Amino acid sequence: MAKSHAAQKRADVVGLDLVRTAAAATKSAPATATESKPSPDYFIERDGVRYAGHHLLIDMWGASNLDNQLLIEEALLECIRVSGATLLHIHLHEFQENGGISGVAVLAESHISIHTWPERGYAAIDIFMCGAAQPLKSVPVLRRYFEPETIQLGEQKRGLSE
């Protein structure tokens, strides 16, 4: 049975992530009694500011393809790839009454969620990533896949430490 384009991309990303995960597990093996290594800290420090991660709230209006589950999955997978994030799990659900789709990609760095209202040409997308991931690189991908007339973007630094 042939895999869809999105399913193949997902398998490729998951396969790559399993390699990353295995390598990370090897690096973060428990310390022995004779050695003590600090656990990794995925907080970000930029320009003297320390925080957990970037949280993007994206509203797209006048968008297309909001009822196409395969295309939405493909878009999320490309967002993950260009951002340098690690996919753990993806789940999308199509609502029969209006064709809207809600879903989440759970990432090692946090998540991407999407909720669409095709009858209004509207999508609400939430992207939160910590560590070295770069969520802003997702915005051009979303623009290309959904061709919105307008995008409203809010950005917040989560977990600001004092």
Kindly name the residue from 54, 55, 130, 138 that is annotated as catalytic. 130
Burial 13-51 (b: 16+ CB within 10 A, else e): bbeebeeeeeeeeeeeeeeeeeeeeeeeeeebeeeeeeb
Which of the residues 54, 79, 83, 110 is marked catalytic? Answer: 110
Catalytic annotation present for 130: yes
Residue 29 per-residue DSSP state: P
Let me know if 89 is a catalytic residue: no
Given a contact cutoff of 8 angstroms between Cβ atoms, the answer to whether 124 and 115 are in contact is: yes
Our measurement of the distance from residue 86's CA atom to the centroid of its chain's CA atoms, rounded to an integer in Å, reads 8
Burial environment of residue 69 by CB neighbours within 10 A (0 to 12, 13 to 18, 19 or more): middle
- Determine the 3-state secondary structure of 157 from DSSP: strand
Phi, psi angle pair for 90, to nearest 5°: -135, 140
**Annotation says 110 is catalytic:** yes
Treating both helix axes as pointing N-terminal to C-terminal, what angle do 69-83 and 138-146 enclose, rounded to 10 degrees? 160
Q: Which residues are catalytic?
A: 110, 115, 130
